[in-house]
Structure 1
């Protein structure tokens, strides 16, 4: 993400009372659990937590995706049979 994306997701929800362009189009508002408006700190925490969740789930997905390829690899000692050396 570039700095414009970062600023969009960080500042727009605070300025527009919990809405972004897409959320306003479908009438979804970001609020705190107690129903109060969000502030800059809440938006920053939400942005960081979302990045961590996306990173962890992407990492798990890549790991699961790579397992079939990993199981097909031969260990180095099986690449050269003993009769060849």
Structure 2
């Protein structure tokens, strides 16, 4: 087991994170979804503002999932780790 937190399961095929496996991961996903919904509700008619807000939020989500995925991100072909 690594000394880093493990909030997300790795994808079985391909590279990246799958579903959350800890409550902290679910909180991260819920916060992102709420922020995206709020952003669209407030700035829905202004595409550039919405994109300018969502790009950093998405980058933060990717960074968090990258750092907290069990086993890290690497290409997987469907075998169990």
TM-score (norm 2): 0.33
Structure holding more strand per residue: 2
TM-score (norm 1): 0.32
Larger relative contact order (C-alpha < 8 A, sep ≥ 6)? 2
